[in-house]
Amino acid sequence: MTNYKNYTNKEMQAITIAKTIQDGQIVIVGTGLPLIGASLAKRIFAPNCKLIVESGLMDCNPIEVPRSVGDTRFMAHCGVQWPNVRFIGFETNEWLNDKDRMIAFIGGAQIDPYGNVNSTCIGDYHNPITRFTGSGGANGIATYSNTVIMMQHEKRRFIDKIDYVTSVGWGDGVGGREKLGLPGNRGPIAVVTDRGILKFDDKTKRMYLAGYYPTSSPEDVLENTGFELDVSKAVRLDAPDEAVIKMIREEIDPGQAFIKVPVEEK
């Protein structure tokens, strides 16, 4: 008999991502865990959300998780196929017309207490230890949309000062975005990791632990964070329903492209 009680932290992360999406929102999503989470939201938690990708595909409803934003599994069930420039215009127009219905997902290699993200390099920009692919569309997305940041929770990633700011979060705190000429009414709203969910204080814009998984704890999160973190408001999140885990494994990602199913011991 198939066991759907043995969920993984990645599955918990995808479910937590799904629950950040509200019904009726327009969701900018790429591939990987954010797409699994968004697909799950559309099936269960927010059936009227609309998924869009930066390749220009709008109102997507993939049968199973695509491998890239140009995958035909995205194209076959989308409302319209726009060129990329139309996507950028749509994203900007939402902000210019003061719409507040868009949420976006980005990731990176490093993050600081105010949600500034580095996806460019580790070390000096001109002589890096490691060079990454860079922004892609993340900088523009972080400029004009409220974002949820997806990260693996490790001390080397959660640090006081990141090596390079690829996508601005709340800058240096309250008023930080405005000082940089960016919209102050947009910014990161959460960070979803493999240990829990972190949010940003309304008054200080600094990150705090809002919830942790049954497999984690506030102490575990603190041990894996490289800066001072408030955990006083953290709550233990509920374990997922078996039906949700079954949907991820059998309908959304049956090929285990992004989430591997744990092997049962014999």
3-state helix/strand/coil string of 138-159:
HHHHHHHCEEEEECCCCCCCEE
Better pLDDT: 262 or 146: 146
**CA angle (117 as vertex; 7, 253 as ends), nearest 5:** 30
Q: What is the DSSP string of 17-28?
A: HHHTPPTT-EEE
Asked if the structure places residue 261 within a domain, the reply is no
Per-residue pLDDT at 74: 78
| Interatomic CA distance for residues 188 and 106, integer angstroms | 10
Q: How confident is the model at residue 13 (pLDDT cuts 50, 70, 90)?
A: very high
| Count: domains in the chain | 1
Q: Which sign does the torsion angle of CA 240, 241, 243, 244 carry?
A: negative
Active-site hit among 11, 54, 91, 251: 54
The tokens for 256 are 């285990």
pLDDT, mean of residues 184-190: 96
Asked if the structure places residue 205 within a domain, the reply is yes
pLDDT, mean of residues 61-90: 80
Count the Cβ atoms, other than its own, within 10 Å of residue 158.
Answer: 24
Check: CB of residue 138 under 8 Å from CB of residue 168: no
Domain span at residue 156? 9-252
* Total residue length of the chain: 266
| Interatomic CA distance for residues 53 and 39, integer angstroms | 13
Give the contacts of 263 (CB within 8 A, at least 6 positions apart): none
**250 part of the active site:** no
Asked if the structure places residue 135 within a domain, the reply is yes
Per-residue pLDDT at 70: 73
**Identity at 234, one-letter amino acid code:** A
Asked if the structure places residue 1 within a domain, the reply is no
| Interatomic CA distance for residues 139 and 118, integer angstroms | 10
Check: CB of residue 137 under 8 Å from CB of residue 89: no
Asked if the structure places residue 266 within a domain, the reply is no
Return the CATH number at 147: 3.40.1080.10
Asked if the structure places residue 234 within a domain, the reply is yes
How would you classify the pairing of strands 146-150 and 102-107?
Answer: parallel
Asked if the structure places residue 264 within a domain, the reply is no
The tokens for 90 are 């749509």
Asked if the structure places residue 217 within a domain, the reply is yes
Helical residues (DSSP H) of 41-175, grouped into ranges: 72-75, 84-96, 138-144
Check: CB of residue 169 under 8 Å from CB of residue 178: no
**Identity at 49, one-letter amino acid code:** C
The answer, yes or no, to whether residue 1 has pLDDT greater than 60, is no
Check: CB of residue 188 under 8 Å from CB of residue 149: yes
Out of 95-109, 181-195, 220-234, pick the least confident.
95-109
Per-residue pLDDT at 224: 98
Per-residue pLDDT at 265: 64
Angle between helices 9-19 and 33-40 (to 10 degrees): 50
Query: How far separated are the first and last CA of the chain, in Å rounded?
Result: 13
